[in-house]
Structures are given as C-alpha cells and as structure tokens.
Amino acid sequence: MTQANILFDTPGPRARLRNNALTLVTVVVLAAIAYFVIAEFGAEGQWDGRIWEPFLQSSTWVNFIIPGLLGTLTAAGLAAVFAVVFGAVFGIARLSDHKWIRVPAGAVVEIFRAVPLLLLIFFIFYASPWVFGGGDYTLMAVVAGLTLYNGSVLAEVVRAGIRAVPRGQSEAAYALGLRKTNVMRLVLLPQAVTAMMPAIVSQLVVLLKDTALGYIIAYVDLLNMGFKIIPAVHFGSLIPAAIVIGVIYVGLNMALSGVAVWLERRSRRSRRTSAKPVMASMSMSTGV
C-alpha cells in the first residue's frame, strides 16, 4: 500500500468517480473473460461430469496424483541436496587464493549457468546409456541436470553471501591468529549462511518448478501423470487434470516462496550476522 500511495493522491470526488468507473470496467472485462472461458468449456463439453468425476475418486489420487507428486518431490529433493553441496563447494572454490582452483571453478559455474537446462538434461539422458550401459536414466538425467544448473546459480549466491560479510570480520579473525580454513569455517560461513538463506530458498523454488522438464524425457512426475497418464486412462480428462496439478504446483511453489520471504524478514532483523541479506532478486534466474 505504501508503494501504491505515493503514486497517486487520496482520491477526491472526481477521482473517486473515475476509480469507480474503472473498477466497473475491470469487473465487466474480467466477467466477460470468465464468461467466455465458461462458455467455451461448455461448447467443448468440458463441464461433463464424466471427465471431472475421476478427481473425486480416491483411486485417481492414490494411483496417479500422489505417485506423480512423489516423483516430483523425489527429483526436487535429491537435486536440492546435491545442488546446495555443489553450490557450496564451487562458491567457496571461486573465492580461493589459489588461481588453479579459482579459475576452473569459475569456468564450470559460468558454463553451466549459460547452458539451456533442457539441452543439458537431454545430453545427460542420451550420454548415460552410452557410458553406463542400459537402464532407466530419466530420474538421473533430471537430477543431474538440475544439480549442475541450480548448483552453479547457488555457487554465485554463496560467493555473494560470503562477500557480503564485512571485511572487518575476517581481518579481526586473522588478527586473532586464526588460519584461513578457520576464518571461513568459524567466522565467514556462519554469518554468510544467515544472509543467503532467502536467496537459496528462492532458488529452490526455481528448482522445484524445473523438475517439470522431466515430462519431456518421460520421467514419471506430476506433470506426466496429469498430461499423459490420467488423460489416457480417463479419456477426455486433460483439462480437469491440468487444473488439478496446476493448483498443486502453484500451491507448493507459493508455500516455498513464502518461506523465502519469512527467512528474509528474519535475517534482516537477525543479530547473528553482520552481513546484509543477499537479495533473492540479485540471483534471480527466471528458471523454467
């Protein structure tokens, strides 16, 4: 509200009239859109009880939606753990004093950030049987692709987080006689983690959304269940299925985004760190 309020005065009688007229127009336009969608659904037979009914039966949830959700969460969970580890290792490696560590780490991070994620997943998916022999590599390709891409973005977050700790902190630690490793472990990292938590969680939202790419290589996730398997079993249920899984995805992501906002507020007030929070928007990658 505060942001909106600086852009316009408290409305007088004429502005109020104009606002009310605009509200009316907006409501009419929105209602028209809603009517159009509903009518179009009706014309194409999308209000048929038959195609919505499967979502009231527990078997649809037990056999399709919940296994799909588990597939999505498995891929996201594994990739999140690996990506955070990857990000921590490469983020710290990029700050190394040794050029032979710093430069290769920087190259890896920059390259994997620039590669379109889907191409990376395809490549891993097709290269794996060639390297490891036959088998089902869908999960591995999704997890490895997500790890390399999001890990590289997280490496930048980690680097920014460590750099956000004021110089005085490490100088004081060195003055106390601590070695390099201990300065990082005892002084810089604990403060940086608090500062970069919100940005890390925001990136995990991107990661969770990106698991949907598994659909393209036929990994059995929520999207696959909703767009391929449920419509195949219950013929014609594509749109209801799309709406149900869309709601699940949006709900999950909004909940996780909410955690990021909460963490950012907490870290802004926190006295456990002297670093300013690393802004989520700074590392914001649009993701897929």
Partner 1 sequence: MDELIKYAPDLLLSFLKNVQIAAVCAVLSLILGTILVSMRVSPTPVLRAAGTVYVNVVRNTPLTLILAFSALGLSDTLGLSFSQTPSTNGFWLVVLGLSAYTATFVCEALRSGINTVPLGQAEAARALGFTFVQSLRMIILPQAFRVVVAPLGSVMIAMMKNTTVAIAAGYLAESAFTMKDIFDDTGVSIPIFLGLIVAFMAVTLPIGFFTGWLAKRLAVT
Q: How far is the CB of 214 from partner 1 (least distance, A)?
A: 9
With respect to partner 1, which residue has the nearer C-beta, 7 or 175?
Answer: 7
Judged by CB under 8 A, the residue of 41, 47, 235, 262 near partner 1 is: 41
Phi and psi at 233, nearest 5°, equal: -80, -50
Interface with partner 1 in residues 100-119 (CB under 8 A): 111, 114-119
Binding piece for partner 1, criterion CB under 8 A, among 14-22, 54-62, 81-89, 190-198: 14-22
Binding mask 129-158 for partner 1 (x = CB under 8 A): -x----------------------------
Q: How far is the CB of 34 from partner 1 (least distance, A)?
A: 11
Query: Could you say whether residue 242 binds partner 1 (CB under 8 A)?
Result: yes
Tokens of 20: 């009310």
Query: Could you say whether residue 210 binds partner 1 (CB under 8 A)?
Result: yes
For residue 221, count other CB atoms closer than 10 A to its CB.
27
With respect to partner 1, which residue has the nearer C-beta, 73 or 118?
Answer: 118
With respect to partner 1, which residue has the nearer C-beta, 178 or 238?
Answer: 238
Query: Could you say whether residue 229 binds partner 1 (CB under 8 A)?
Result: no
Q: How far is the CB of 58 from partner 1 (least distance, A)?
A: 24
Query: Could you say whether residue 6 binds partner 1 (CB under 8 A)?
Result: yes
Query: Could you say whether residue 86 binds partner 1 (CB under 8 A)?
Result: no
Judged by CB under 8 A, the residue of 31, 32, 39, 40 near partner 1 is: 40
With respect to partner 1, which residue has the nearer C-beta, 193 or 244?
Answer: 244
Binding piece for partner 1, criterion CB under 8 A, among 135-143, 160-168, 195-203, 253-261: 253-261
Phi and psi at 47, nearest 5°, equal: -95, 5
Task: Give dist(CA 101, CA 193) in Å, integer.
Answer: 22
Judged by CB under 8 A, the residue of 156, 249, 260, 275 near partner 1 is: 249
